[in-house]
Amino acid sequence: MAWTVAGQERAVNILSGAVQNGRVAHAYLFAGPARVGKSLTAMQFAQLLNCTGEDAPCGECRSCEKIASASHPDVEFIGVTSMCNEQGHDHAKDNSRDIRICQIRRIEQVISRAPYEGRYRVVIIEPADSMNTASVAALLKTLEEPPPNVVFILVTDHEDLLLDTIRSRARRVAFAGQPRELIERILRTRWDAEADEAAELARLSGGRLGLAIAALRDEKLVESRESALDKIESLAQSGLAERFAAASTMGSGYTRARAGTQATLELWQEWWRDVLLVAAGRPQQVTHTGRLDTLRTLAAQCDVPAAVRALRAITDARQQLVENASPVLALEAMMLALPVLRPNAVTTRLRG
């Protein structure tokens, strides 16, 4: 089988080379956008480290199959809801939103023992940015004095949320979005998608193969995305009262749904980028082609500099949220900076 992750050749080469040259690091940081293959690469790297087949990671030997089914005794997948002790307490029942120190303490106990069945004990922590202060401190101590034959893989969509002390102790492996043509081809050849559907999902995916596959499997994801875009368009045409209400709702829920809020703001960026492209006379490059008529109407009131300022405001808000600014204030400032576009207004472009 070998590697099946697509469009991440650089990452695959780095990891394969480390094993071939006998220079496997004790910790890796897989950083990049969501749904571009980081999780799959982490799992296949664990397979590579413990594969007993000829073409590693073969995906067919007993070790590879057990890792793929999350049942290998030497490979741990640590997330927000994973168990925290040998008795099997599961934080899913606690509605936990953090990776807690008790979960890291359990890992410390596990890795203190030699590998039971494979060559390496592998610990995959995802999302690594969900570790709270206490768990980060505990992990840092372990990374400073790593046991032999143990490899940590920290997976994150939000690298900036990790402390420099953690990042400096792990080898960074960068992941990027995949080309639209590659995503379209994979949807057609591996997932039997119709040509038109594959092209549409590849365009909407924003370079994220995992998102395209998820949308192919579940039509509700596309419906949810369209509903979110409707709200974005509505707010673009609303006054400050409606915008501040939206900022309050998003901001008050940010601590409970950081990833969801960031994903929503990413969609805001996509929509305003489309406005920018239409305002710049490049409608053929927009992501949301089904909304082109509305985009033309609204972009007629918004010149390129105004659209650029809108994109910058959203980017600044996302960064402020990462830096733990007041979520409501950060989002209110963003709303103030966004142009107000009226669907029936005379098409006079904004100046400034």
- Please tell me the predicted confidence (pLDDT) of residue 158: 87
Q: Are 7 and 209 in contact (CB under 8 A)?
A: yes
Residues in the chain with pLDDT values less than 70: 1, 85-96, 343-352
- Please tell me the predicted confidence (pLDDT) of residue 17: 96
Kindly state the tokens that stand for 121.
């004990």
What digits encode the pLDDT tens for the residues 240-276? 999 999 999 999 988 878 888 988 999 999 999 999 9
- Please tell me the predicted confidence (pLDDT) of residue 323: 81
- Please tell me the predicted confidence (pLDDT) of residue 146: 87
- Please tell me the predicted confidence (pLDDT) of residue 351: 34
Q: Which residues contact 87 (CB under 8 A, 6 or more apart)?
A: none
Query: Residue 191: exposed, middle, or buried by beta-carbon count in 10 A (0-12, 13-18, 19+)?
Result: middle
Kindly state the tokens that stand for 276.
């920018």
- Please tell me the predicted confidence (pLDDT) of residue 91: 65
Q: Say what the pTM is.
A: 0.82
**Rounded distance between C-alpha atoms, residue 110 and residue 88, angstroms:** 13
- Please tell me the predicted confidence (pLDDT) of residue 85: 67
- Please tell me the predicted confidence (pLDDT) of residue 84: 79
- Please tell me the predicted confidence (pLDDT) of residue 348: 39
- Please tell me the predicted confidence (pLDDT) of residue 352: 38
Q: Which residues contact 277 (CB under 8 A, 6 or more apart)?
A: 283, 285, 286
